[in-house]
Amino acid sequence: MDLTGGCACAAIRYQISVAGGEVADYCHCRQCQLSSGAPVLAWVQVQPERFRLTCGVAKAYQSSADATRWFCETCGSQLYMTDSAGKSVGVTLATLDLPYIMPPTVHGWYSERIDWFTLADDLPRYSQSPPYDE
């Protein structure tokens, strides 16, 4: 199934192909908190060949030795993240045109959760990386 998404100002658009079984997660790591301004950021991981920009050019920010985050330079929307090994592209779920299509299935980096952010689900919680990052 092909899904589309983009930034708030529509300057950047992308398409991802999902086959089912992709890991979608809530990430509680400090870098996601800082880059989003939120206590948690939801992602879906796809193989690089299943992701493509269809409009515009994203601005890169290397947030760690292993990760580059990509934003719209105009509106600031964080759209996706790539890893230095080229294993996956993490797409922010809220930027999908139909974000309800890919509900998160796990929590990652739960050890860095902000304690005032309470959760009412029973999804698996990983102290650090979810299974796709290992």
| Structural tokens at position 53 | 């920009």
| Residue 129: predicted pLDDT | 85
**What rounded mean pLDDT belongs to the chain?**
94
The C-alpha angle 22, 28, 31, rounded to 5 degrees, equals 100
Q: Where are the alpha helices (DSSP H) in 6-125?
A: 30-36
8 three-state secondary structure: coil
Question: Where residue 134 falls among pLDDT bands split at 50, 70, 90?
Answer: very low
Cα 39 to the center of its chain, rounded Å? 14
Global pTM reads 0.91
For residue 133, is pLDDT > 70? Answer: no
Q: What is the pLDDT of residues 8-65, one digit of tens each?
A: 999 999 999 998 888 899 999 999 999 999 999 999 999 999 999 999 999 999 999 9
Domains of the chain: 19-133 (3.90.1590.10)
